[in-house]
Chain A
Amino acid sequence: METIISLKPILAVIVSTIASFLIAITGDRARNLRETWTILAAVIKFGIVISMLPDILNGKIIEYTLLKITPELILHFKVDALGIFFAITASFLWIITSFYSIGYMRGLNEHGQTRYFAYFAIALSATMGVAFSANMFTAFLFYEIITISTFPLVAHKETEEAKRGARKYLAYLLGTSVAFQLTAIVITYNITGNLNFSYKGVFIGANISHTIITITFLLYIAGITKAAIMPLHSWLPAAMVAPTPVSALLHAVAVVKTGVFMVMRVVLHIFGIDLLKSFDLGTVLAIIASFTIISASIMALKQDNLKLRLAYSTVSQLSYIVLGVALLTPSGITGSIMHIVGHAFGKITLFFTAGAIYVATHKTKISELDGIGKQMPFTMGAFTVGALSMIGIPPFAGFISKWYLSLGALEAGDIFVLAVLATSTILNACYFMPIIYIAFLKESKSIINNRKINEAPMLIVIPLVIAAIGTVFIFFYPSIFIDIIKVIILAVIGNN
């Protein structure tokens, strides 16, 4: 495989760090200039990421070794198909979210906006860092930076409740990553002397007992709490105290997808499909993920707070991705990777609408949303698109990923997984359809403002409509993504 040495991955990482400094220096005095930095960084970042795509599609790999800290702990960047897939999703959605953030923060006249935008940019830098990591150490480093840089975002409101949520967030993410993930990394290094992501896994040829492998694997899964696999999921609902754009981009895309992305890296590039198959560890992961899918969906049913319902939905949807990759079949992995982007667009739309409703009406509860569809037709239209995509109905992105996931289940000959997918589809419908129903078909209880268009500011509505359009777009043009996925599958599985 051809390797290109290029600074581009580093530039993609660093551009928003620079922006973060500029944002901090500019401060509240020149708000428009400050926001310009965010937008500029987002666009440049996306541009850099996209410029690497053609090489990757040609089967090449872009690498750069930044620093050999010690002989085994190396800051090493590598752009492969899986990495760029995640990077494209996150960096594209950052552009939309940036506009939305500006609308949201100004619409609510929030305090601490400089801090908000500065840490947001750092979080995105670290997300790119995870996407482009070439080894587990680099990934771990950026994983921790994400946790720490999003802490101020979760605690943004500075109320007791926000601080409590942020504490829980940090305890789960930092605690488990130090306790379990780091241990797993050390054990991996101790056994193999190698932390690089490689296509057949690093354990190849190592003489190791079943117990050690199983323990290490479970330590990784427990240590990558950002994937919100049960029972270590409750940080995600707690993080919903954050401002909505944070929930939208970070807790539906960047942070949580970093989690599932790392799980994928561990499954495909640390352990390797063959090893997991021979130890039957894929099944273990599949069972955990299935459990998460079903129970999180049931929990979502009970939530009256819109953002909380979305959060539990995220927990459940993230495990789709884990489940797909746990099947260890080509279609399963395809579905799983496809769901990264499918879920990202759908869920960001839903969170955007939740934020828009809050900005326009200050309502957070589903039971208060009677007839809101008439007040906010665009917002709720987009909500419907997002919800249908989540359920997995064509012509929306969610359908494609669910299709491949089901195919993967059939390939693996696993009827149980198919049943899980079917059940969860029904549950998804159960917790999303009532919202659509009350929004459009119920009459509003309050007489004031009834039947009068009362949308959120344009800077909020336009991004959410774009996100909704994206959801449809992916359904009609999935080939852009499928092409990348083919390169990934080819590398890890080969031609068979």
Chain B
Amino acid sequence: MNLSEHASILIVVIPLVASFINIFLIFLKRSLCYPFFVLVLGICFALSIDILYTVINFGTVRYKLGGWMPPWGIEYVIDYLNAYVIVIVSSISFIIAIYSKDSVKKEITKARLPYFYSTYLLLTTGLLGITITGDIFNLYVFLEIASLSAYALIAIGEKRSVLASYNYIIMGTIGACFYLLGVGYIYIITGSLNINDLTRLLPSMYESKVTLTALAFFVVGIAIKIALFPLHRWLPDSYTFAPSAVSAFASATVTKVGIYVLIRISFTLFEPRFLTEITPLSNMLIWWATIAIFFGSIIAIGQTDFKRTLSYILIAEIGYMVLGANLGNKEGFIGAVLHMLNDAVMIACLFMIAGGIFYRVGSRNLEDFNGLNKNMPITMSAFTIAALSMIGIPPTAGFFSKWYLILGAIEARHWISASALIFSSLVNAFIFFKLLEKVYFGKNVGVLKYNFRELPLSMMIPILIMALAILIIGFYSGEIISSVIKFTVPAGF
């Protein structure tokens, strides 16, 4: 059996099966859980690289599950866009898995650890499944797997995380229901669930009210899942109170996969002209995203909790990607897709640093950042890189996606959106330089409390990898665009 041929199914099945095996490992040998967990995610990462390689060299991969022919059977279709998102998800999940070893020690009781690993693997399964599948109902199934495991992971955190998770469940279930209703409507009029099939069938039904209703359900459902302002209420609490490793993983991947689904629905399931000419959806989303950017940024200024600040910044960043994808030109779209990668790396890095600070200082309060550089100089230099990237200072990665986004906004003559992007950069500059000033020039009070060292290696190395990735991705932006992202741009842009 050629392993590479089945990589697309293995990458979903392996973490799924592993999450069950992991539970049984408790009875065998508890200490094996963690190495097994990291190993599985390492394999997923390797497979994702293999898939990307296959797509780049041999074009779109189509994998028919159980040999059933589409549109009756479930089909996995991997083109450049999926392959790209798969690499993002699996690499981030792998790196944060390494990071979680020491990080979760202070946040999760030891008895729960194996369950944490299992749920984490399930979340990875769900996210990879959503990305890889070519079937809108199958997508729903994975969406639920991912959501349910995310609810559970968030609820493992500190006391208040249970309530946060509960809010997330309510909102997330509404989102999933809306998505499912969308699927139902589409199925009623076309009798098909296969995305490729639907692409062929739907254009004749663009005028139908059912199609419009389905589209509305899809968009609102996904908007809840990606926390597009004002449907964001579940996000800040969840990501603030969840364990740091979970915050980092979920913030970096769940929303990106959501954006991926939005792009898939908008530009593969439907044709771009459906969103621009027949319905005003693109235009609506542009305004919606612009408002999200403004509000996310403004609310972020007022926060005192570091993870909560990051959550609101994330809400603004989601606006970036939705905006870029809908601007209707190549530059904006490239910016959005590039930002999926950049934002995933930056936000994961920052949440990991937040976890690191919590690990040593036991606080997430911005006031407690004073003079941290004296105790954790290496972590803080990673923080500086991530912060500069968030602001969009070249040559960090954040600059390049922002460049394309602003270019796209100006190309589309959406001046207000362009100013929203710049406004958000300025807000990030304000937030992060205030912090950097505390970190480097603040006087730390209370000697005893601050008598600590750098992070343990298992936390520091993943953080450093992410910080280096920000720089490397920045320098290779052009390479990434010309070899992958260029091909994700929908025809007609």
The answer to whether residues A186 and B478 also contact, given A69-B400, A152-B440, A178-B429 and a CB cut-off of 8 A, is: no
- Could you tell me if A148 and B407 are in contact, using CB atoms closer than 8 angstroms? no
What B residues does A179 contact at CB under 8 A? 422, 425-426
B422-A178 in contact (CB<8A): yes
**Residues 427-470 (chain B) with a chain A CB within 8 angstroms:** 429-430, 433, 437, 440-441, 443
What are 8 contact pairs spanning A and B, CB under 8 A? A70-B478, A148-B388, A155-B437, A155-B441, A170-B433, A178-B391, A183-B410, A183-B422
A183 contacts B441, CB within 8 Å? no
The yes or no answer to A166 lying at the interface (CB within 8 A) is yes
- Per the CB 8 Å criterion, the residue count for chain B at the interface is 30
A70 touches B477 (CB 8 A): yes
A-B CB contacts (within 8 Å), total count:
74
* CB-nearest residue of chain A to B440: A152
Q: B interface, by DSSP: helix, strand, loop or mixed? A: helix
A67 contacts the other chain (CB 8 A): yes
**Highest count of chain A CB atoms <10 Å: which of B425, B430, B441:** B441
Which residue of B has the minimal Cβ distance to A144? B393
Which of B407, B443, B477 is most buried by chain A, counting CB atoms within 10 A of its CB? Answer: B407
Are B437 and A69 in contact, with the CB atoms below 8 A? no
B394 touches A178 (CB 8 A): no
The B377-434 residues at the A interface (CB cut-off 8 A) are 388, 391-395, 400, 403, 406-407, 410-411, 418, 422, 425-426, 429-430, 433
Using Cβ atoms and an 8 Å threshold, which residues of chain A touch B437?
155, 163, 166-167
Asked if A399 is at the interface of the complex by the 8 Å CB criterion, the answer is: no
CB distance from A480 to the nearest CB of B (A): 35
Q: A178-197 CB contact bits vs B (8 Å, 1 = yes)?
A: 11001100110110000000
| A71 lies within 8 A of chain B by Cβ | yes
Give min CB distance, A211 to chain B, whole Å: 12
Partner of A183, one of B406, B474, B478: B406
Q: Are B433 and A70 touching (Cβ within 8 A)?
A: no
| Interfacial residues of chain A within 134-179, with CB under 8 A of chain B in the complex | 137, 140-141, 144, 148, 151-152, 155, 158, 163, 166-167, 170-171, 174-175, 178-179
CB proximity of A231 to chain B, nearest CB, Å? 18
**Chain B residues with CB under 8 A of A71:** 478, 482
| A 114-142 contacts with B by CB, 8 A | 137, 140-141
Contact B425 A69 (CB under 8 A): no
With an 8 A cutoff between CB atoms, is A210 at the interface? Answer: no
- Interface flag for B481 (CB, 8 Å): yes
Interface residue A73 (Cβ < 8 Å from any Cβ of B) = yes
Name the B residues within 8 Å of A166 (CB-CB): 437
Q: A70 with B400: in contact, given A170-B433, A186-B410 (CB under 8 Å)?
A: yes
- The distance in angstroms between the C-alpha atoms of A179 and B440, with both chains bound, is 25
- Chain A residues with Cβ under 8 A from B411's Cβ? 190
Q: A69-B477, A73-B478, A148-B388 are in contact. List 10 more A-B contacts (CB 8 A).
A: A69-B474, A69-B478, A73-B394, A166-B437, A174-B391, A179-B425, A179-B426, A183-B406, A183-B418, A183-B422
Q: Are A148 and B410 in contact (CB under 8 A)?
A: no
Question: Known interface pairs A155-B441, A166-B437, A178-B391. Does A186 touch B403 (Cβ–Cβ under 8 Å)?
Answer: yes
Give the residue of B392, B395, B478 whose beta carbon is less than 8 angstroms from that of A178: B392
Interface centre among B388, B425, B478, B481 (most CB of A within 10 A): B478
Task: Return the contact of B426 from the options A140, A151, A178, A189 (Cβ within 8 A).
Answer: A178
Report the Cα distance A182→B423, complex, angstroms. Answer: 12
Residue of B395, B400, B407, B425 touching A186 (CB-CB under 8 A): B407
A140 touches B478 (CB 8 A): no
Q: Is A68 an interface residue (CB 8 A)?
A: yes
B475 within 8 A of A: yes
| A41: min CB distance to chain B, Å | 22
Least Cβ–Cβ distance between B374 and chain A, in angstroms: 12
Closest to B415 in A: A183
**Contact among A68, A141, A175, A183 with B395 in the assembled complex (CB-CB below 8 Å):** A141
Partner of A190, one of B388, B391, B410: B410
Residues of A within 8 A of B477 (CB): 69-70, 73
Q: Which of A69, A140, A190 is close to B475, meaning CB atoms less than 8 Å apart?
A: A69
| Chain A positions within 8 Å of B395 at CB level | 69, 75, 141
Bitwise interface map of B from 144 to 169 toward A, beta carbon under 8 Å scored 1, else 0: 00000000000000000000000000
Contact of A140 among B394, B422, B481 (CB under 8 A): B394
